[in-house]
Amino acid sequence: MIQAIGLTSSPRKELPPAVDDVSFEAHAGRVTVLLGAPGAGKTAALGLMLELQRGRGITYFRGRPLHRIPYPAREVGVLLGEVPGHPARTVRGHLRMLCAASGVPARRADEVLEAVGLVSLRDERLGTLSRGMDRRLGLACALLPDPHTLVLDDPARGLSAPEARWLHGLLRAHAAQGGTVLCTTPDPKEAARIADHVVTLDGGRLVADQEAQDFRRTRLRPRVAVRSPHAARLSALLEQEARSAQRSVEVVREGGNRLCVYGSTCAHVGETAFRNGIVVHRLADEVGDMGPGAGTAGQTADTAEPAADDRRPAPAAAPAEGATLTPAPGDPDAHGEAGAQDARPAPRRGSRRTGGRGTLRTGRTSDGGDALPPPVSVRPAPRPLRPVRYEIRRATGVGTGFLVGAGVLVVSALTAVLLARVGHTPQPRLLAAWPRELPLPPAALGAGLLGALAFGDEFRHPALAADRGTVPRRLGLLTAKLLVASVTALVLAVLTIGCDAELLYLVYGGEVVEVPADWLPLSAGWLGLVTGCACAGVLAAGVFRSTTAGVAAVVAVPLLVVPLVHKVLEGPSVRTPSALSERLRDGLPLGWPFGGERHLDAVLRLVAQPVGGALALSLAVLLCAYLFTTLRNRVR
């Protein structure tokens, strides 16, 4: 079950808070609807419950706040707004990627596709889905980890009548299996159709907390809709006849020539109009909405006893710091995952109810002041439980990476052929297709672009969580992205040299592609350059949240950082790498094992080169910036 207590959003300058002291319960096995007009505070209340917004209050999901649940996605399935994802990704690929993020088997994707009726569309792209199919996919994402609780923000928005009936049936089936369902809607008639319990908000405040049958009786009343050019005269006649017959009939003018008649029938209104010669353009039975506070005004727990079937415990107050939670006896919802202490705190003293089941007001402390609910801190964004698998599926789920790799191979091969035709190009640069006029070869630029896409695409098309605007900054996810980007860059570097050498051999013969004598350090430098560009793209896109910024950081290394490093290394007092390696060798009591001084010397020579040193410096700065932003977000 869900227990929301004292939800209050942060002040908004001169405006009142979007949610003000809202408390309610949503029980397991039932569908609870949060009802309110646009701007009533429904979405803000969900944001506070899910710890996505700052404010005050506390929400228990089966006895635990969300930040105390080890894996929140397995406890609460969330659908807020549109489904986040790259429009070029397939439906099945998107769900399989989220399976890796949630730590569930990949076969679960096919199971939820069948449950929501998207099996026939599993190979469709996200960008081609209709509104109804998009909402089905969002529900599939929420159901993927098989959560106990569903929290959905207006799930039927934009759906046709058959699709809305299907959705309501699925929510009802989830509740029938013992799950908890909480959804929002602005339509009172939809709330009456699907809900077991209705919580009504108006202006950020809770105005009614009712069972569905009480909601239908007090707020949705049958009426007769009449449209006539003589509406005023017909209204007076109906009221006169009701007084004469001592019947309870209410006639409401709704502007223009429209009337709403409560307590009468179409037959009686039509006969009255016929007897008096009044033209009627429309006469129909309707269900009227009496407004948010209908049937609850003036009722308090001090003057009105709750119904016998509605005497449930009030939502509990937040426990004090260091207090332990004791499960309520016989409460099936007081136990969550194995080994966790799921409990319902004791009821709060001094609370009072208003309106049906009413709102819960905070009690008073011993000094007479109101006890404020605890502050709501924005919880950390979820991280993938299987980051490497998640990153592989993310990178291979769209064709952008394959297109970039193919473009790099084609451009590199053509550039190598043109450089060989022009001449005056050293063989290492010829095989790398690296003209002196370009700051970086095509392979390094392509690797940097692929690295930048690793974060940039996710910031443009969030993929990790349906309740987040962007992907989180996590070192595990960063490590996975760096690993996958580095492997991709190595493969691209090897394929580039292979394709360039093969094409040069076919066009100009074998003398152009002879293996140089110092092929080992050249190969190490080439692989290090391409891999470093890929890592720089990942880090820069993660820091600046943009693919363009990631590529710009890669290009800035040879254009801006290299001249700076070159000027620093031009001084007469600069130590040579060989001297440094000799000093390190002489300073050790034991010799370097396996000729380690030669490897160290080769590494130092690579770093001492302007491009190598600038790239190493840029990677260090970007990594420090990434760690700084990560720690800053955690402190907040």
Site of tokens 């397939």: 90
- Tell me: pLDDT of 108 over 90: yes
Q: What end-to-end distance do the CA atoms of the chain give, in Å?
A: 30
Q: How confident is the model at residue 559 (pLDDT cuts 50, 70, 90)?
A: confident
Measured between alpha carbons, how far is 419 from 435 in angstroms, rounded to an integer?
7
Residue 48 is encoded by which pair of tokens? 């506070």
Within-domain flag for 522:
yes
Residue 636, burial from CB neighbour count under 10 angstroms (0-12, 13-18, 19+): exposed
294 and 194 belong to one structural domain = yes
Asked if 489 contacts 451 with a C-beta cutoff of 8 angstroms, the reply is yes
> Does residue 506 contact residue 590 with C-beta atoms inside 8 Å?
no
Last residue of a domain, one of 124, 144, 164: 144
d(CA 364, CA 361): 9
> Is residue 143 pLDDT above 80, yes or no?
yes
Mean pLDDT of 251-280: 89
Residue 306: is its pLDDT beyond 70? Answer: no
pLDDT (average), residues 398-402: 93
- Checking if the pLDDT of 301 tops 70, the result is no
Which of 378-392, 455-469, 583-597 is modeled with the greatest confidence?
Answer: 378-392
The tokens of 245 are what?
Answer: 């017959």
User: Is 182 in contact with 32 (CB distance < 8 Å)?
Assistant: yes
Range of the domain at 40: 1-69+150-218+290-318+341-379
Which residues lie closer than 8 Å to 559 by C-beta, 6 or more apart? 439
C-alpha dist (Å) from residue 309 to 79, 146, 181, 295, 312: 31, 31, 20, 18, 8
Q: Could you tell me if residue 326 is inside a domain?
A: no
**Would you say residue 447 lies in a domain?**
yes
- Of the listed ranges 152-161, 297-306, 403-412, the least confidently predicted one is 297-306
564, 611: one domain:
yes
Confidence of residue 402 (pLDDT cuts 50, 70, 90): very high
Structure-derived torsion over alpha carbons of residues 92, 97, 103, 105, reported in degrees to the nearest 10: 30
Phi, psi angle pair for 90, to nearest 5°: -80, 160
Residue 302 confidence (pLDDT) above 50: no
306 and 204 in one domain?
yes
Starting from the edge strand earliest in sequence, which strands make up the sheet with 375-376, in order? 22-26, 2-9, 55-61, 375-376
Largest Cα span, the chain: 119
- Position 170 scores a pLDDT of 93
Residue 57 pLDDT > 90: yes
| Structure tokens that stand for 555 in this block | 């290009």
Q: Which helix (H) or strand (E) holds 5?
A: strand 2-9
Return mean pLDDT, the chain: 80
Asked if residue 336 belongs to a domain, the reply is no
CATH of the domain at 21: 3.40.50.300
Write out the DSSP string of 543-600: HHT-HHHHHHHHHHIIIIIHHHHHHHHTSTTPPPHHHHHHHHHHHSSSPPGGGHHHHH
**Tens-digit pLDDT profile for residues 341-379:** 343 333 333 333 333 333 344 444 444 445 678 999 888
Total-model pTM: 0.76
Percentage of the chain lying above the pLDDT 70 cut: 78
Measured distance CA(136)–CA(116) in Å, rounded: 6
Q: Quick one: 297 and 396 in the same domain?
A: no
What mean pLDDT is predicted for residues 288-301?
58
Is 412 found in the same domain as 355? no
- Look at residue 343 in the predicted model and tell me its pLDDT: 37
pLDDT of 468 reads: 67
In this predicted structure, the answer to whether residue 313 has a pLDDT above a threshold of 80 is no
111 with 247, same domain: the answer is no
Are residues 76 and 65 part of one domain?
A: no
The token duo for 282 is: 């429309």
Q: What distance in Å separates the CA atoms of residue 511 and residue 84, rounded to the nearest whole number? A: 54
Q: Are residues 37 and 180 in the same domain?
A: yes
| Contact criterion met (CB below 8 Å) for 411 and 404 | no
Q: Is the CB of residue 433 less than 8 Å from the CB of residue 442? A: yes
Strand order in the sheet with 282-289: 250-253, 258-262, 220-227, 282-289
Query: Greater confidence, 627 or 490?
Result: 490
- Indicate the helix (H) or strand (E) that contains 221: strand 220-227
Number of domains the chain is built from: 4
Q: Which 8-state DSSP code applies to residue 148?
A: S
Asked, for residue 331, whether it belongs to a domain, the answer is: no
Beta carbons of 404 and 86 less than 8 angstroms apart: no
Q: Pick 312 or 131 by higher pLDDT.
A: 131
State the DSSP code for 84: P
Bridge partners of residue 206, in order along the sequence: 201
The tokens describing 437, both together, are: 């006029």
Which range is least confidently modeled, 50-59, 202-211, 224-233, 336-345? 336-345
**How are beta strands 197-202 and 31-35 bridged, if at all?**
parallel
Average pLDDT over residues 539-567: 84
Range scoring the smallest mean pLDDT among 63-72, 167-176, 189-198, 511-520:
511-520
Using alpha carbons, list the distances in angstroms from residue 63 to 136, 337, 347, 428: 29, 11, 13, 66
Q: What pLDDT score does 460 carry?
A: 86
**What is the average pLDDT across 407-414?**
95
Residue type present at position 371: A
For tokens 């064709």, name the residue: 399
Among residues 84, 109, 144, which one ends one of the domains?
144
Let me know: does 199 contact 293? Beta carbons within 8 Å.
no
Residues 542 and 399 grouped into a single domain: yes
Dihedrals phi, psi of 396, to nearest 5 degrees = -95, -5
pLDDT above 60 (res 635)? no
224 falls within a domain: no
Q: Does residue 398 sit within a domain?
A: yes
User: Domain check: are 373 and 299 in the same one?
Assistant: yes
Q: Which long-range contacts (CB under 8 A, 24 or more apart) does 507-511 make?
A: 507/417, 507/420, 508/420
> Does residue 595 come out as left (phi exceeding 0), alpha (psi in the -120 to 50 range) or beta?
left
pLDDT score at 285: 87
Place of tokens 């109009």: 273
Q: Is the pLDDT reported for residue 309 higher than 70?
A: no
Sign of CA dihedral 588, 593, 598, 601: negative
Residue 60 has pLDDT above 90, yes or no: yes
Whether the per-residue pLDDT at 480 is higher than 90: the answer is yes
Both tokens of 513, joined, read 């592609």
Low-confidence winner among 440-454, 522-536, 564-578, 606-620 (lowest mean pLDDT): 564-578
Q: Are 485 and 575 found together in one domain?
A: yes
Range in 13-17, 154-158, 233-237 with the lowest mean pLDDT: 13-17
- pLDDT tens track for 563-610: 776 676 665 544 554 454 555 555 544 455 555 555 556 555 555 555
Mean per-residue pLDDT for 552-557? 87
pLDDT band at residue 186 using 50, 70 and 90 as cut-offs: very high
Residue from 35, 50, 41, 37 nearest 22 by CA: 41
Looking at the structure, tell me whether residues 369 and 401 fall in a common domain.
Answer: no
Contact residues for 149 (Cβ-Cβ < 8 A; gap 6+):
2, 61, 62, 75, 76, 77, 179, 180, 181, 182
Classify residue 285: in a domain, yes or no. no
* Cα–Cα distance, 433 to 496 (Å, whole number): 9
Q: What is the mean pLDDT of residues 491-495?
A: 95
Residue 260 has pLDDT above 80, yes or no: yes
536 CB burial (10 A radius; 0-12, 13-18, 19+) = buried
H helices present in 423-474, as ranges: 427-432, 442-460
Mean pLDDT of all residues in 277-306: 66
